Amino acid sequence: YNQLQLALTMLIDAYGRIVNYLRISITDRCDLRCTYCIPKGFHEFEKPEHWLSLDEIERVVRQFAAMGTRRFRLTGGEPLLRKGIVELVTRLKRIDGVEDLSLSTNATQLQHFAHDLRRAGLDRLNVSLDSLSRHGIEKITGFDAKAKVMAGLQAASDAGFVNTKINMVPLQGINDSEIDDMVAFCIKHQFILRLIELMPMGASAQQHQHLDLQPIIARISEQFQLIPSQKTYGGGPARYWQSQDGNFSMGYITPMSQHFCQTCNRVRMAVDGTLYMCLGQEHQYALAPLLKKEVSDADLQAAIQAAIHLKPLQHTFNEEPKKIVRIMSMTGG
């Protein structure tokens, strides 16, 4: 009966894609100012009175889980800036159906949280790191953050996190010469490396030149003798390559040069409870009014179903590169 019930409530969009992954932004604020994300001097952050409370976030997760969603990620902004993050992880991990709960972080605060997050049941960590040099990190993020980030990565390993992913966004003429160093760093520390193509979200990202990862994939694979891998590490859109001995893996996420919209399985919730159906389109659905009215679970689930039906077929970043004015931290990266 449970299986049948689940099959009936599963989230399926208008194009037949099953949505089973929710990314939750728990703050749109960040302690860094990466050149392609939050512009310096930006202050249009969501007002605290519009943030979903931890109770409301938990309630939304419960509904998604009841409708077959098994993977959840906390992100932002920088999620470690949100008060109560450890408690939230504890509460979400207790929900039936939450099988995989992960977190994306810039790691500046991770040394203070890694152990507690692990104990609270967090399954996996993604750490964003675009450079290994002190100068490079400062140039991209606006802060001399290298020591803190390295301490955060060490704390994560000490706390027992394995298969931690390092996410790097290669930028033309800025850090694209550092990719080889990043590969060597990840081999040494047993991190999974992912290179992600920059998407033109907001003026900050649109000011950067487009960088196609395809030639880089070919070059790195040859240089480090990597072979195509069947691994998926959580079922995201990255295509993986691995070393001959299988000890090192790296993946590529190529929304621009080879998009994967036909297999998109995710939606995102911003800190104000707005569901965004696609990073590259405006389709959205505000859950906050329903949460404030304390509607029934059935009504909330019906609203989520309706939202999923708005999910567009694909992004049009290549055709309309100036269309999206939302920066990544507003939607939740």
Residues near ligand SAM (CB under 6 A)? 30, 36-37, 75-76, 78, 104-106, 128, 167, 169, 196, 198-199, 201, 205, 328-329, 333
Contact 137, 149 (CB under 8 A): yes
**Biggest alpha carbon distance in the chain?**
59
Write out the two tokens for 306: 């309706």
Residue 136 or 333: the one with the smaller Cβ distance to ligand SAM is 333
Residue nearest ligand SAM, Cβ-based: 333
Alpha carbons 252 and 146: distance in angstroms, whole number:
24
CB of 273 to ligand SAM, least distance (A): 18
Residue 200 or 273: the one with the smaller Cβ distance to ligand SAM is 200
CB of 293 to ligand SAM, least distance (A): 30
CB of 327 to ligand SAM, least distance (A): 7
Q: Which helix (H) or strand (E) holds 89?
A: helix 85-93
Nearest to 267 by CA among 4, 3, 13: 13
Residue 60 or 145: the one with the smaller Cβ distance to ligand SAM is 145
Contact 311, 275 (CB under 8 A): no
Alpha carbons 184 and 182: distance in angstroms, whole number:
5
Q: What secondary structure does DSSP assign to 140-192, as a single string?
A: HHSS--HHHHHHHHHHHHHHT--S-EEEE---TTTTGGGHHHHHHHHHHHTPE
Alpha carbons 28 and 157: distance in angstroms, whole number:
27
Residue 65 or 201: the one with the smaller Cβ distance to ligand SAM is 201
Contact 307, 277 (CB under 8 A): yes
Residue 13 or 78: the one with the smaller Cβ distance to ligand SAM is 78
Q: Is 215 helix (H, G, I), strand (E, B) or coil?
A: helix
Residue 76 or 152: the one with the smaller Cβ distance to ligand SAM is 76
CB of 177 to ligand SAM, least distance (A): 18
CB of 153 to ligand SAM, least distance (A): 13
CB of 4 to ligand SAM, least distance (A): 37
Strands 239-243 and 249-253: antiparallel
CB of 42 to ligand SAM, least distance (A): 13
Residue 81 or 290: the one with the smaller Cβ distance to ligand SAM is 81
